[in-house]
Structure 1
Amino acid sequence: MHLFNIFTAAFSLLNIGRGVLGVPNPNSEHNLVERQARTTPILTVFPGQAALPTLADIINLNATNGTFLPIQNIQGDILVGMKKQLETFYFFHINDPASFKTALNSYVPTITSTATLLSPASSQPLAFVNIAFSSTGLQALGITDDLGDSQFSSGMYADATNLGDSLSTWESPFAGTNIHGVFLIGTDQLAPQDSYVSFYVSGIVSTFGSSITEVDRIDASARPGDEAGHEHFGFLDGISNPAVAGFSTTVLPGQTVVPSGTILTGRLGDVALRPSWTLDGTFMAFRKLQQKVPEFDAWTLENAIQNPEGTLTVQQGADYLGARMFGRWKSGAPTDITPLVDDPTLGADPQSNNNFDFAHANSSLISDQSRCPFSAHIRKTNPRADLADANTINHAIRAGTPYGPEVSSSEASSNTSTQDRGMAFVEYQSTIGNGFRFQQINWANTANFPPLKTVTPGIEPIVGQGSPRTADGLNPVDPSVGYTVPQFVIPTGGEYFFVPSISAITDVITAS
């Protein structure tokens, strides 16, 4: 208990994540928002997701195994996964580096740490704020160190065609290297939409003034009601993030445990040569992924498949096809465990919904797709037994949020998207080429992955990019039938960022 008191007192003295936004006006509407007391946590554990550890849990873990992750110094969004009700991405360009550094130095108390997000709700701020920089952003600030990641140095726009993107679909704010950084602002929905976020955005504007220019802003939020935690196609998301050694106090059945250096730069498992100041940072791959939901729904109906018993309606056959494309039913239940029918209880149970690896007694791992197609989204992006359950280096933490409105009745009836919606996709890793980029290029986009199968699996049908867009094994009655799958997820922009530790911001970024 004595150690816990010392640890929490240190967090209080550091005052990380609770600071003010410029000079408060006691008569302003924003100050009234600032004075509201929080009674529930910022982050939400959606059904099927792993619970977050507490500060006491992490202290006990580190006392037991001798490791120590300074979570008061690690920016908050990195380790917590997909647990935001509301999130805004505020992309900016630095106009005046000197003024920006001065403003950022004063703003550091508002940058939210992991420790703050795991604190009791009453000591959490109205919203969390994190900051990340592109390679050109660091250069604008006079930081020319080689951070040990070639993809970061070049930027995502230069990498887009390697990722399989068509630059014709990229939106102008992301074309080139004009984006120098991004503020991530996350909160819950205890107040009317945008009230907390608008308060924090206005604080950024007032603090940084003309030293920055807004390049783009994406407002994202969890879907309403029972769809909370589901992405726009309707599938429960954020289930299979890895457990991070030194942070995850509970490992769920089937969950992969990765060294902290798989996610955090400079930690055990990160073998790249980097400047010492990058310790406890991470590289963030951001993607704006547009989702063609009415078109997806129409295509699965048109191509509805039948179960071996021949008892499905057309809508049930469409849902069955969608489940096999993802490898999970919309509830989150994996088809590898329940191949023929959805099981919402299983989908909502984090103790069970990830407890599989595609291998089964009396079943051939190289030929049997009856439970889960080789091309399914969850199999392509987390191959488990297909790589002998030995893969850890290519894991990363996903932390994105859906953006855009629900499908309108006119869109549904016309089978045509007229509004922009999708996923503000975020993935954290210590090396972009091992995490996001490897998953996209070597796994999702590669037709003969997973390897050593009796058939060519084909492209991953959801996020896979490239041509031909053929996927094998989706129909369990006749697995030899190959499907040509339209592109339902379209990348419209993105960037690679470095998310520094909080001490790196004060000691290096604002001081250089």
Structure 2
Amino acid sequence: MKISSILSSGFVIASALQFVAAYPGSGVALTPRKTSILINPAAQPDLPTAAQAQAAASAASLNLDDIQGDILIGMKKNQELFFFFSITNSTLFKQKLKSDIKVRVTTTTQLLSVSSQPTTALNVAFSQQGLNALGVTDDLGDPLFTAGQEADASVLGDPGTTNWVPSFVGKQIHGVFLLASDTTSNLNSFLSDLNAILQGAIQEVYSLNGAARPGDQQGHEHFGFLDGISQPAVTGFNTPLPGQELVAPGVILVGEDSDPVATRPTWAKDGSFLAFRQLSQKVPEFEKFLTDNPIIEDGLTPAQGSALLGARLVGRWKSGAPVDLAPKFDDPVLAADPTRNNNFTFAHPGQNILNDQTNCPFTAHIRKTKPRADFPTPNPGNHIIRAGIPYGPEVGPAEAASNTTVTERGLAFVAYQSDISNGFHFLQHTWANNVGFFFNKNQTQPGWDPLIGANGGQPRWALGLDQTNFDRNITLENDFIVSRGGEYFFSPSLSALSGALSA
């Protein structure tokens, strides 16, 4: 690594003792951070300290120094830049991947301590087309990854690729760099340095900037709901809070315990499949729908009835409090307590879980995608680590007044799993888009997930949203979330970056 490259990215040379934590093996020392590049809303589960994670990893034989940082960190980034690229010179790219790029890729361990975080964190992942461009012909054992997301579009509920960003169509994208920091200038400076290092070995296809929302909306998505509360804990990384599901590492990481695919290339171990989706959110239209369809009940004002409908549609109030524990009014104190806000199952004494939706509808987003006690036995396999971030500006006064979206905003959705068909694809297709799920209820077809359920752009419906009348059919004429496309990637280990992928 050249000193000039380090300086051009705005980094400052520091003591020789600091460089190992900053960029292992680079031989270059960097000024340590004083503030974290991650956000940490009170309601979201805390990340473990570096010492806690290393102790857990040692017991489970996980190597957190070989696992890219974004995979296990989840929805904690302050600002993020997704830089999608095609490889134009594979020989040069592999040379740079083995040296300059690999030493800049941020590990899980590095992100867990402010003192070891770089100015800008870097992760990288490749599509099947990207692996082909690198001459990697091994079958990774995931047919959805091999085929690419475009082939999966209609199955996911998209109306083909009609609304997709053109760059996601036609298998143009070979890889994505994920850059995370706390300022736009840091991201831009690092990207400039990255392009200089690669010397024309890649070409930009598309880029998308994301950022945590401002002020008290940090950690909330654009509809206003606090996000990231229900992430699973991973054995060998973090200890579960009350109500938090503990999953085996192989559910998220390839080649680890409980990986559902028996045969993988050796070099793929500790990588993870990244499902990326750009999801546009129609915020003014969503708010208008809630205003027009309040739950009418004694003791509720129209505004409270609208807020209750939104909470039952999502399964949580905007504060993050679950409706299963706060069924009629928001409870911000409950919401802010991570030992309580995820500690529920949808089952209640005296209620029949087969027909009673008093506390939470069968179709609520968080119930459709994480059924809990709706399963008679625990569900160990269908889990993902979500690592997305909002993109686009806040709703302006003119948009709010007209109830019409003018400027696109939404969620840069990122999900990690060891098998896409068991993870993101399953949650979207088999649960969210399945009108008959959850099964064995008195309502044989409760309807779509009203938030992310998709029906090819056609109207959808959901029962159970109105707690005064579970059989009230609420029709959703338009999608509040519109897929703008995406791709499936593989995020390899650091050893793979300097090994099989750059050979």
TM-score by length of 1: 0.91
Deviation string, structure 1 residues 341-364 (Cα, Å, up to 9, x no partner): 001111111100000010011101
Cα separation, 1, equivalents of 2:432 and 2:485: 18
Q: Does 1:503 align with 2:489?
A: no
Superposition map of 1:264-283 within 5 A: 264-272=253-261, 273-283=263-273
Q: Secondary structure at the match of 1:23?
A: helix
Q: Secondary structure at the match of 1:79?
A: helix
Residue 491 (structure 1) aligned to one of 466, 483, 498: 483
Structure 2 counterpart of 1:479? 470
Q: Does 1:110 align with 2:104?
A: yes
Kept in 2: contact 1:261–1:267 (CA 8 A): yes
Equivalent residue letter for 1:504: A
Q: Does 1:236 align with 2:231?
A: no
Structure 2 counterpart of 1:462? 451
Cα separation, 2, equivalents of 1:422 and 1:256: 27
Structure 1 segments, 4+ long, off by >4 Å, are 31-37
* Alignment RMSD (CA, Å): 1.6
Superposition map of 1:227-306 within 5 A: 227-248=217-238, 250-272=239-261, 273-306=263-296
Pairwise CA distance, 1:42: 2.0
Kept in 1: contact 2:275–2:414 (CA 8 A): yes
Pairwise CA distance, 1:177: 0.6
Q: Secondary structure at the match of 2:280?
A: strand
Residue 159 (structure 1) aligned to one of 152, 155, 176: 152
Structure 2 counterpart of 1:53? 48
Cα separation, 2, equivalents of 1:117 and 1:334: 29
Kept in 2: contact 1:21–1:203 (CA 8 A): no
Kept in 1: contact 2:281–2:482 (CA 8 A): yes
Structure 2 counterpart of 1:430? 418
Cα separation, 2, equivalents of 1:206 and 1:458: 51
Percent identical among aligned pairs is: 49
Kept in 2: contact 1:21–1:204 (CA 8 A): no
Pairwise CA distance, 1:32: 6.0
Cα separation, 1, equivalents of 2:303 and 2:330: 13
Kept in 2: contact 1:323–1:335 (CA 8 A): yes
Deviates more, 1:43-52 or 1:399-408: 43-52
Superposition map of 1:112-131 within 5 A: 112-119=106-113, 121-131=114-124
Kept in 2: contact 1:49–1:350 (CA 8 A): yes
Residue 354 (structure 2) aligned to one of 325, 345, 366: 366
Pairwise CA distance, 1:98: 0.4
Pairwise CA distance, 1:24: 3.2
Kept in 1: contact 2:278–2:411 (CA 8 A): yes
Deviation string, structure 1 residues 108-156 (Cα, Å, up to 9, x no partner): 110000011113x122211110000000000011001100000000000
Structure 1 counterpart of 2:10? 30
Q: Secondary structure at the match of 1:447?
A: coil
Equivalent residue letter for 1:367: N
Kept in 2: contact 1:22–1:203 (CA 8 A): no
Equivalent residue letter for 2:199: G
Deviation string, structure 1 residues 246-293 (Cα, Å, up to 9, x no partner): 111x21111111100000000000031110110000000000000000
Equivalent residue letter for 2:230: S
Q: Does 1:342 align with 2:330?
A: yes
Cα separation, 1, equivalents of 2:112 and 2:367: 31
Pairwise CA distance, 1:23: 3.0
Cα separation, 1, equivalents of 2:190 and 2:9: 12
Cα separation, 1, equivalents of 2:278 and 2:250: 26
Q: Does 1:184 align with 2:178?
A: yes
Kept in 2: contact 1:473–1:480 (CA 8 A): yes
Superposition map of 1:292-441 within 5 A: 292-307=282-297, 310-441=298-429
Runs (5+) with no aligned partner, structure 1? 1-19
Structure 1 counterpart of 2:34? 39
Equivalent residue letter for 2:349: A
Kept in 2: contact 1:399–1:427 (CA 8 A): yes
Cα separation, 2, equivalents of 1:483 and 1:312: 19
Cα separation, 2, equivalents of 1:173 and 1:240: 32
Pairwise CA distance, 1:469: 0.4
Equivalent residue letter for 1:174: F
Kept in 2: contact 1:90–1:182 (CA 8 A): yes
State the aligned residue count.
Answer: 481
The change in CA–CA distance for 1:103 and 1:180 in structure 2 (over 3 A counts) is same
Deviation string, structure 1 residues 432-463 (Cα, Å, up to 9, x no partner): 00000000000000001011011121000001
Structure 1 counterpart of 2:25? none
Pairwise CA distance, 1:389: 4.8
Cα separation, 1, equivalents of 2:323 and 2:145: 36
Kept in 1: contact 2:260–2:419 (CA 8 A): no
Deviation string, structure 1 residues 300-323 (Cα, Å, up to 9, x no partner): 10011123xx12222211111000
TM-score by length of 2: 0.93
Runs (5+) with no aligned partner, structure 2? 15-29
